[in-house]
A and B are shown apart, each in its own frame.
Chain A
Amino acid sequence: MSERFINPAISAVPPSAIRRFFDIAGTMKDAISLGVGEPDFVTPFPVRNTAIESLLDGETSYTSNAGILPLRQEIAWYLRNRFQLDYAPEGEVLVTVGASEAIDIALRALVRPGDEVLIPEPCYISYQACTLFASGVPVPVPTHAENDFELRAQDLEVRITPQSRVIILSYPSNPTGAVMPLERLREVAALAIQHDLFVICDEIYAELCYEGFEQQSIATLPGMRERTMVVSGFSKAFAMTGFRLGYLCAPRAIVAACARIHQYTIMCASRQSQVASYNALKQGRETKYADVARMRESYDRRRRLMVQSFRDMGLPCFLPRGAFYAFPSIRHTGLSSEQFCERLLHEQQVVTVPGNAFGPSGEGHIRCCYATATDKLVEAFVRIARFLDTL
């Protein structure tokens, strides 16, 4: 009865396809989950302890809307020294509640009703929903396994219209683990400049690249800084998902617009999360990010194991060079992604995520996270192989 009060524009946004699987998986005790989207490391103790000490010291007040200045300074130093990005701590950096808030307020700040947002997919699930919440029109741009799930300029160009306003670029990619080589970035940058488009660049997985690859930011390319927002956070590389701490960096006017939404809706990110994140960066600077390197090396080992295990079972699997997901194809089984995942869950108690949850071009694939203990991964592979034998 109460439904009539709900804004139809919100009702029209479908719930995440992941939700249904979450409900089923929650009822299974012995399930092995490859469905997580977060590290299996606990936040390093010194970082946790900083949050505890902050609480014990009675630091329980709001912070400035933009976030505490020392954190913004450390973010600026980190981006400059790790990714050759140059942003002023005062005015060009905004601390947010996870990268998710940054995506949301960025789209609300940039998109006018009816504006089109070009979203390469399969992609993180919030881009399309946040575009709709911002009264924009999501325009999916498919990427393909045969192109290593890189965004190809020709696929983007044919979807650009006079209403196009924003491109969301998210590499390394969740769910595919794809990265975006420099030459491809240059092609996208040329189109953005030619058509006067703004780029929201979600770089939350930028630290997690393998095989010597380094994900360069499109914001570093000539002519791109003025039309790019870099979004990142502490969840993935620093194993701090529960702290919910992210940030966005962009030219002053863009950050000011985002800050206006942020100040009225969020006020500020948690102070304890901010001081913990500050310490994560400060210690990282002193140790050359040893914790990040240690975790990356561990993911890398499991990445090799997972990809080869899928290939050995006969599931074609693109070699991901970033994030902590593999995205094998299950097309030859004749099952849809959802059918495959649901049957695998019911019959062998292994949780995976159907590729179509990340957009239509994810159909025919499943997302599997390798940020899970090796013995559990090995057991999961045994179960998946057993499941495949029954098909």
Chain B
Amino acid sequence: MSDKQRQVLDLLNEDCRIPLERAALMLGMDIQEVAEIIDTLEKERVILCYRPVVNWDRTQRTVVEAMIEVKVTPQRDFGFDAVARRINSFAEVRSLYLMSGTYDLLIQVTAPTLKELAQFISERLSPLETVTGTSTSFVLKRYKQDGVVFDQPDEDRRLSISP
């Protein structure tokens, strides 16, 4: 990755809705150049999508969320990738990571109700033949996600004027 690509990514990471014109101004590049860099990053699947970080607690929508530690038996020739692909296909799975340590996969799942989440684990995840064990922890409160602190008052602790 070039330094210019890194700079574009840093800026988009702060605010992916930044107008192209302002991004170009802040980066000292021309608009066309920034557009081309973003286009390349999208085509190369470095940038996969643009989504808001939502604090669902501030909405009427209730979501049950859990982290599931999963032990699996890696498959010959495919390792963990085959089972990961299978788990990826479930709509409830929001994130999936291969981990070092005492378990193999970490799955972040969401479901509308506790019952539906339980059904996902017992009827869809656990029966997979390569899954040898699961341990589920429910998310009680979200403090920070993707570098964004939830419920942080928008305060500047600095004096409004200083020399």
Interface, chain A (partner B; CB < 8 A):
16, 18, 21-22, 25-26, 31, 33, 35-38, 40, 124-126, 174, 297, 300-302, 304-305, 308, 351, 353, 372, 374-375, 378
Contact = CB atoms under 8 A, between A and B. Distances in A.
B160 A22 contact: yes
Contact of B26 (A40, A126, A301): A301
A25 B158 CA distance: 13
Contacts of B161: 18, 21-22, 25, 33, 35-37, 351, 353
Given A16-B163, A304-B26, 14 more contacts: A21-B161, A33-B158, A33-B161, A36-B161, A37-B162, A38-B162, A40-B156, A126-B163, A174-B163, A301-B11, A301-B27, A305-B26, A308-B25, A375-B15
B156 A125 contact: no
A293 to B, nearest CB: 12
Contact of A351 (B10, B14, B26, B160): B160
A21 to B, nearest CB: 5
A302 B26 contact: yes
B75 interface: no
A125 B11 contact: no
Contacts of B159: 22, 36
B13 to A, nearest CB: 12
B14 A374 contact: yes
B74 to A, nearest CB: 37
Contacts of B25: 304-305, 308
B160 A36 contact: yes
Contacts of B27: 301, 304
Interface of B: 7, 10-11, 14-15, 18, 22, 25-28, 156, 158-163
B26 A36 contact: no
A38 B158 contact: yes
A36 B22 CA distance: 23
Contacts of A26: 160
A304 B163 CA distance: 22
A353 B163 CA distance: 9
A257 B162 CA distance: 30
25 contacts: A16-B163, A18-B161, A22-B159, A22-B160, A25-B160, A26-B160, A35-B160, A35-B162, A36-B159, A36-B161, A36-B162, A37-B162, A40-B156, A125-B163, A297-B7, A297-B10, A300-B28, A302-B26, A304-B25, A305-B25, A305-B26, A374-B14, A374-B15, A374-B18, A375-B15
Contacts of A38: 158, 162
B14 A36 contact: no
Contacts of B163: 16, 18, 37, 124-126, 174
Given A297-B7, A374-B14, A33 B160 contact: yes
A375 B156 CA distance: 13
B160 A31 contact: yes
Nearest to A35: B161
Contacts of B156: 33, 40, 372
A37 B7 CA distance: 26
Contact of B28 (A124, A304, A374): A304
A19 B70 CA distance: 61
Contacts of A308: 25
A374 B11 CA distance: 11
B2 to A, nearest CB: 15
Contacts of B7: 297
Contacts of B14: 374
Contacts of B22: 305, 378
A33 B28 CA distance: 25
Nearest to B10: A297
A124 B163 CA distance: 7
B150 to A, nearest CB: 17
Contacts of A374: 14-15, 18, 26
Contacts of B15: 374-375
B1 to A, nearest CB: 16
A308 B22 CA distance: 10
Contacts of B26: 301-302, 304-305, 374
